[in-house]
C-alpha cells in the first residue's frame, strides 16, 4: 500500500486533520508514488492510499454524490480491522481525476492499543450496562424502543483508543412527557461506561384556523395557502407526498395521519393555540419546500411525520431519529408548532442523515445552531423576512427562546468561541455559530437564504461527525467558494465570534494556510485573477511565505504567474517561456513577504502570454 500523507508518532492513537494538507502536494506525491503500480479502480481504495492509511485500515463509503459539473463528493467512515472508528469520517472532493479538497481526520497508530484476540463482552451485556447507566431505576416505568449496540473503536480526548459498544435507544415514560434518546459508550473489554449523553435533539385543500394568542388567529385558505390534504368521501386526511400529521391526543404512540370532515379542521384548540394540527401540517410542507427551493434536495429521504399533542403539558419538541414530535406547551410556551421550531426539528434529521454531528461538545453546538438557522431560513422562505429569534411566536412572554443576533440576551448562551467549555449545554454553546450566521446574513450582498445555503452545503458535504468550530468554518468557507459567494465575508463573520478556518489549518511555528479551491478557467491569451481574503491577523507576513498552486494547461510555458499583495505590490513567481513545453503545474514558491501586511485581499495573477491554449487554475494557497 502506498503511504503518501505523513502520520504522527507511534505508541498512541493519532488523528491528523486532513484539511491541513497541501492538496496539490498530496496529489503530486501520490501520482509519483503510484507510477508503474497503477491506481486502484475503486475510489475508496485510491483515497485510502492517497491519505496514507495503514494496511489494517479502510475507508467505507457512506455517501457519494456528483454535481452537474462532474465533481464527485465522497463521505467515508474510517475502519480499523473492519471495525468503524467512532466520530471519524473522511470527506474527499474529486474532479478531473484529482482530489480538490480533504476534510476530516486520518486516524493511525491503533495496532499498539488494540491487541488482536482481545476478549469482549457481548452486545446484550453492553445494552444492559447502557440502560442502567442512562435510565437507572426508571427502566421499569419506561417504554424502550429502537435499541442499537454497534461495536466501534472509541478514541478519547487523551488519544486513548478502546474497543467499545456505542449503544443508543429511545425511551419515554409509559404516559409520555419524559422522552430521552441516550447514547452510551461502553468499554467492550471491561463493561465500564466511557462516556454518555442524551442524543434527543430538541427545543425546549384544507382550511381552518392557526396561530395562538400571541401571533393572533389566522385562517388557512385565506391568510395563508390551503393545507395540502387528501380528500375522499367528504373526509380530509392530513397526508400528502411530503408530509403527514398525526394527532397523539395526549399520548405517545399514534402514527396514522389525522382525519376530519372536509374542508375545515378546527377541533384541536388548546393552551391558547387555535389548531396546532393545522399549523404543524402547513409548516411541515413549507419546510420541505424550502429545502427543495434553496438546496435542491428533500430534508429527509422519506415523508415527514409531524406528531402533535404529545403527552400532557409537555413544553418541548424533538426529533427521535424517525419523526418530529411537538408538545402542547404549558405556562411558558404555547403549543410548540411554530414554523421555526418545525424547521428546527426536521433539520436535526437532515444533519443526522448528512454530517451526523455528534450531539455533544462543539459538534453538538453546531448541530443545534444549524437547526436554528433552518428555522430562520423557513421564515425567510415563507415571508421574505425573518426575526433571528428562536420560537418567539410560541413564547408566552415578550421574548424568545434564543436570540441569534444577541445570544447572551437569554442569560446563558455564549456569542464567542473564547467563552466555550465542554460543560455548556449545546443549546447555549450554539450561540457562537448562531451569531456568525446572523452576521453573515446581514452582510452586504448576503441574505438569510444565501447564508443558509453555505451552512447547509457544508453540513451536506464537508462537516464530519466530530467537526470543531474551526473545522466547521473551513467547510462553510469551502461551500461559499463552491457557490461563487465571497469567501472573505464568511471568514469575517466567523472571525467576529472567535472562530477561524486558518486556526484549524495552522501549521508549525504559528503559520496559517489560506486556500482558494474554486476551479477557474485561464482564458487563452488573457489574464485570470483569483483572490484570497485574509482577516484577523496582526503584523507582517513571513520572509519565507509559501505559495502553492495547481494548474491544468497543455503548455505551461505560456503562463506568467504573479502574486499581488493587498497594497498592489507584485511578486513574480514564474515567467513565460516558449521553451517550456511541459504540461500542467503543481508547484510551490517561497517568497519574502516580510514587508507586507498580512490582512487584506491577496491575488494570484495568471497571464496566458500566447494565443494557443486555454487551461484552468485548480486551486492555490498561501502559507504565512
Q: Residues with catalytic annotation? A: 345, 427
Which alpha helices (H) appear in 384-447, and where do they start and end?
426-429, 431-441
Which alpha helices (H) appear in 205-314, and where do they start and end?
276-295
Cell numbers at residue 95, please? 474532479
Tell me the pairing of strands 182-187 and 193-198.
antiparallel
Mapping DSSP to helix (H, G, I), strand (E, B) and coil, where does residue 334 land? coil
Residue 574 to residue 31: CA distance in whole angstroms: 23
Tell me the pairing of strands 259-261 and 98-108.
unpaired
- Dihedral pair phi/psi, residue 279, rounded to 5°: -60, -45
Cell numbers at residue 205, please? 385543500
- Dihedral pair phi/psi, residue 35, rounded to 5°: -60, 130
Backbone CA torsion sign across 402, 405, 407, 409: negative
Residue 143 to residue 128: CA distance in whole angstroms: 15
Residue 367 to residue 385: CA distance in whole angstroms: 23
Residue 441 to residue 429: CA distance in whole angstroms: 20
Is the separation of the CB atoms in 305 and 321 below 8 Å?
no
Is the separation of the CB atoms in 294 and 381 below 8 Å?
yes
603 DSSP β-pair partners: 531, 564
Backbone CA torsion sign across 123, 125, 127, 133: negative
For the chain, give the number of residues: 624
Is the separation of the CB atoms in 269 and 207 below 8 Å?
no
Residue 596 to residue 590: CA distance in whole angstroms: 15
Mapping DSSP to helix (H, G, I), strand (E, B) and coil, where does residue 12 land? coil
Please state the separation of Cα 348 from the chain's center in Å: 11
Q: What letter would DSSP give residue 395?
A: B
Amino acid at each position: 500500500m502506498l503511504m503518501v500523507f505523513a502520520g504522527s508518532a507511534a505508541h498512541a492513537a493519532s488523528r491528523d486533520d486532513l484539511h491541513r494538507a497541501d492538496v496539490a502536494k498530496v496529489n503530486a506525491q501520490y501520482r509519483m508514488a503510484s507510477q508503474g503500480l497503477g491506481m486502484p479502480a475503486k475510489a475508496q481504495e485510491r483515497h485510502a492510499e492517497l491519505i496514507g492509511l495503514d494496511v489494517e485500515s479502510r475507508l467505507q463509503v457512506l455517501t457519494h454524490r456528483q454535481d452537474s459539473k462532474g465533481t464527485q463528493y465522497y463521505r467515508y467512515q474510517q475502519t480499523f480491522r473492519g471495525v468503524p472508528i467512532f466520530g471519524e469520517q473522511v470527506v474527499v472532493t474529486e474532479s478531473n481525476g484529482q482530489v480538490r479538497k480533504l476534510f476530516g481526520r486520518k486516524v493511525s497508530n491503533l495496532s499498539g492499543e488494540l491487541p488482536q484476540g482481545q476478549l469482549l463482552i457481548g452486545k446484550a451485556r453492553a445494552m444492559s450496562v447502557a440502560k442502567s447507566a442512562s435510565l437507572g431505576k426508571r427502566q421499569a416505568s419506561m417504554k424502550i424502543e429502537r435499541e442499537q449496540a454497534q461495536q466501534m473503536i472509541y478514541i478519547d480526548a487523551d488519544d486513548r483508543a478502546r474497543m467499545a459498544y456505542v449503544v443508543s435507544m429511545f425511551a419515554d415514560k409509559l404516559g409520555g412527557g419524559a422522552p430521552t434518546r441516550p447514547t452510551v459508550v461502553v468499554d467492550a473489554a471491561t463493561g465500564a461506561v466511557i462516556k454518555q449523553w442524551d442524543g434527543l435533539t430538541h427545543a425546549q385543500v384544507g382550511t381552518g384556523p392557526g396561530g395562538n394568542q400571541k401571533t393572533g388567529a389566522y385562517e388557512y385558505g385565506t391568510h395563508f395557502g390551503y393545507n395540502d390534504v387528501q380528500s375522499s368521501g367528504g373526509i380530509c386526511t392530513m397526508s400528502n407526498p411530503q408530509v403527514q400529521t398525526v394527532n397523539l391526543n395526549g399520548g405517545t404512540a399514534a402514527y396514522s395521519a389525522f382525519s376530519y370532515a372536509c374542508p375545515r379542521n378546527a377541533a384541536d384548540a388548546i393552551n391558547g393555540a387555535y389548531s396546532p394540527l393545522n399549523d404543524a401540517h402547513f409548516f411541515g410542507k413549507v419546510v420541505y419546500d424550502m429545502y427543495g427551493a434553496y438546496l435542491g434536495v428533500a430534508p429527509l429521504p422519506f415523508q415527514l411525520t409531524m406528531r402533535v399533542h404529545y403527552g400532557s403539558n409537555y413544553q418541548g419538541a424533538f426529533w427521535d431519529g424517525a419523526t418530529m414530535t411537538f408538545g402542547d406547551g404549558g405556562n411558558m410556551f404555547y403549543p410548540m408548532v411554530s414554523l421555526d421550531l418545525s424547521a428546527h426539528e426536521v433539520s436535526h434529521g437532515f444533519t443526522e442523515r448528512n454530517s451526523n454531528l455528534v450531539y455533544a461538545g462543539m459538534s453538538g453546538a453546531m448541530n443545534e445552531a444549524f437547526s436554528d438557522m433552518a428555522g430562520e431560513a423557513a421564515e425567510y422562505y415563507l415571508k421574505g423576512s425573518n426575526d433571528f429569534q428562536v420560537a418567539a411566536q410560541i413564547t408566552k412572554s415578550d421574548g424568545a427562546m434564543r436570540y441569534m443576533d444577541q445570544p447572551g440576551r437569554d442569560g446563558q448562551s455564549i456569542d464567542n468561541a473564547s467563552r466555550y467549555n465542554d460543560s455548556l449545554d449545546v443549546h447555549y454553546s450554539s450561540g457562537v455559530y448562531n451569531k456568525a450566521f446572523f452576521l453573515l446574513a446581514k452582510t452586504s450582498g448576503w441574505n438569510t437564504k444565501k447564508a443558509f445555503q453555505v451552512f447547509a452545503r457544508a453540513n451536506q458535504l464537508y462537516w464530519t461527525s466530530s467537526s470543531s468550530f474551526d473545522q466547521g468554518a473551513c467547510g462553510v468557507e469551502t461551500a461559499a467558494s463552491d457557490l461563487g459567494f465571497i469567501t472573505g465575508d464568511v471568514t469575517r463573520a466567523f472571525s467576529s465570534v472567535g472562530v477561524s478556518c486558518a486556526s484549524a489549518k495552522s501549521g508549525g511555528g504559528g503559520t496559517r494556510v489560506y486556500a482558494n479551491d474554486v476551479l477557474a478557467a485561464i482564458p487563452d491569451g488573457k489574464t485570470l485573477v483569483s483572490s484570497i481574503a485574509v482577516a484577523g491577523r496582526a503584523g507582517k507576513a513571513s520572509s519565507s511565505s509559501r505559495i502553492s498552486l495547481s494548474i491544468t494547461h497543455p503548455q505551461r510555458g505560456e503562463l506568467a504567474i504573479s502574486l499581488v499583495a493587498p497594497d498592489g505590490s507584485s511578486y513574480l513567481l514564474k515567467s513565460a517561456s516558449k521553451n517550456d513545453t511541459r504540461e500542467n503545474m503543481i508547484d510551490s514558491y517561497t517568497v519574502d513577504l516580510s514587508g507586507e501586511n498580512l490582512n487584506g485581499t491577496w491575488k494570484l495573477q495568471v497571464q496566458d502570454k500566447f494565443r494557443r491554449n486555454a487551461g484552468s487554475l485548480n486551486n492555490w494557497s498561501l502559507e504565512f
